[in-house]
C-alpha cells in the first residue's frame, strides 16, 4: 500500500472531506499513515478487536517506528484504536453504548445546522446539496446499489450541511466525529430499504430548508441521524444475539 492511495469513501468526500487533523496544512508523515490506517479500519481490513502491529505497519509503509507510534496515537484520539499496556494498539469494538452517545450528539449538531440553513441559506450551497441528494435518490433506484457510494455521499451531505452555515466551530466539531461515526453509519445504511428511507428524508429536509421552516428542517435532520442510530443498534444487538 502506498501513502497516496485512498478508499472510495475518502475519494468521494472531495475537497470538503475531513482529515484526522484540524489544520489545513499538508499532512505530516504520521498523519498520512494515520489516515491510511483509518481507511483500513473503516473498510474492515482491520476487524474490531484486531491488533495493529507497529513492526508490520513500519514495513508496510517503509518508515521507522516513530511515525507509526505517533500515527497510532492520532487514531487513539479519533476513537479508532485503544493503546493498551503490553498489547499495543487494538481496534476499538463497535458498541451500543458508543453509538447511542455519539449519534445523540451528532443529531443535535446536524439539527442545529439544518435550523440555521432554514433561517438563511446561500442559494449556491442549496444547489450543491440538491445535486448530491439527487445522486442518493438515483442510487436507490438501481438494482445493484452501491452501498459504499451511498454512505460516502450521505456523509458528504452532512458535512456540506454544516459547512454551508458558515460556522467553522460547528463544522469542525462534526468533522471531528467523522471516523467515530462512519463505521456505525455504514451499518445504519446497510440495507436497500434504509437507504431509500434516508434518501426520502434528505429530500424532505431540503424542502423544509427551502421553505424556511426551521422546526421541520431540524426535525428532518435529526431523523436522519436517529434512523441510522436505531438501525446500527439493532444490527449490533442482533450480532450479539440480543434480538
3-state secondary structure of 72: helix
Bridge partners for 91 per DSSP:
81
Give the pairing of strands 81-84 and 51-52.
unpaired
Q: Which residue, of 36, 63, 91, is where some domain finishes?
A: 91
Of residues 109 and 41, the one with the higher pLDDT is 109
Q: Count structural domains, the chain.
A: 2
Left, alpha or beta for 89 (phi > 0: left; psi -120 to 50: alpha)?
beta
- The pLDDT tens digits of the residues spanning 114-166 come to 999 999 999 999 999 999 999 999 999 887 778 889 998 999 999 999 999 99
Tell me: do 157 and 74 sit in the same domain. Answer: no
Provide the CA 15 distance to its chain's centre, in angstroms.
15
Q: Which residue, of 68, 91, 114, is where some domain finishes?
A: 91
> Quick check: 161 and 129 in contact, CB under 8 A?
yes
Q: What domain range includes position 55? A: 8-91
- Residue 181's pLDDT band, with cuts at 50, 70 and 90, is confident
Tell me: do 76 and 188 sit in the same domain. Answer: no
Of residues 4 and 241, the one with the higher pLDDT is 241
Indicate the helix (H) or strand (E) that contains 81: strand 81-84
Taking the C-alpha atoms of residue 106 and residue 112, their distance in angstroms, rounded to an integer, is 10
3-state secondary structure of 43: coil
Tell me: do 67 and 131 sit in the same domain. Answer: no
On the question of pLDDT at 195 being above 90, the answer is: yes
Output the pLDDT for position 113. Answer: 97
Tell me: do 19 and 117 sit in the same domain. Answer: no
Tell me: do 111 and 215 sit in the same domain. Answer: yes
CATH code for the domain in which residue 32 is found: 1.10.10.10
Tell me: do 76 and 101 sit in the same domain. Answer: no
- The pLDDT tens digits of the residues spanning 208-223 come to 999 999 999 999 999 9
- Inter-residue long-range contacts of 141-145, CB under 8 Å, 24+ positions, other chains counted: 145/192, 145/195
Tell me: do 87 and 116 sit in the same domain. Answer: no
3-state secondary structure of 88: strand
On the question of pLDDT at 110 being above 70, the answer is: yes
Tell me: do 33 and 70 sit in the same domain. Answer: yes
Could you tell me if residue 1 is inside a domain?
no
Could you tell me if residue 2 is inside a domain?
no
Q: Which residue, of 91, 125, 147, is where some domain finishes?
A: 91
CA distances from 112 to 73, 171, 192 (A): 31, 11, 28
CB atoms within 10 A of CB 59: 11
CA distances from 205 to 86, 172, 191 (A): 49, 22, 21
> Quick check: 225 and 106 in contact, CB under 8 A?
yes
Provide mean pLDDT across the span 196-204. 97
- The pLDDT tens digits of the residues spanning 14-61 come to 333 444 344 445 678 998 899 889 888 887 889 889 999 999 999 999
Amino acid at each position: 500500500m502506498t501513502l497516496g492511495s485512498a478508499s472510495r469513501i475518502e475519494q468521494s468526500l472531495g475537497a470538503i472531506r475531513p482529515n484526522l487533523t484540524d489544520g489545513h496544512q499538508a499532512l505530516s508523515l504520521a498523519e498520512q499513515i494515520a489516515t491510511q490506517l483509518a481507511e483500513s479500519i473503516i473498510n474492515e481490513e482491520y476487524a474490531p478487536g484486531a491488533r495493529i502491529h507497529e513492526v508490520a505497519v513500519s514495513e508496510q509503509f517503509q518508515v521507522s517506528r516513530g511515525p507509526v507510534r505517533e500515527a497510532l496515537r492520532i487514531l487513539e484520539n479519533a476513537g479508532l484504536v485503544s493503546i493498551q499496556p503490553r498489547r499495543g494498539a487494538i481496534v476499538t469494538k463497535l458498541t451500543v453504548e458508543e453509538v447511542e452517545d455519539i449519534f445523540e450528539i451528532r443529531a443535535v449538531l446536524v439539527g442545529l445546522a439544518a435550523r440555521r440553513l432554514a433561517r438563511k441559506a446561500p442559494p449556491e450551497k442549496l444547489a450543491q446539496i440538491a445535486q448530491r441528494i439527487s445522486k442518493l435518490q438515483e442510487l436507490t433506484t438501481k438494482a445493484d446499489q452501491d452501498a459504499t457510494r451511498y454512505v460516502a455521499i450521505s456523509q458528504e451531505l452532512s458535512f456540506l450541511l454544516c459547512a454551508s452555515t458558515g460556522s467553522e466551530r460547528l463544522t469542525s466539531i462534526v468533522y471531528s466525529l467523522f471516523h467515530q461515526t462512519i463505521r456505525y453509519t455504514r451499518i445504519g445504511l446497510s440495507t436497500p430499504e434504509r437507504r431509500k428511507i434516508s434518501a426520502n428524508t434528505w429530500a424532505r429536509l431540503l424542502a423544509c430548508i427551502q421553505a424556511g421552516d426551521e422546526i421541520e428542517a431540524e426535525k428532518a435532520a435529526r431523523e436522519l441521524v436517529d434512523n441510522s442510530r436505531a438501525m446500527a443498534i439493532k444490527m449490533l444487538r442482533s450480532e450479539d444475539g440480543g434480538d
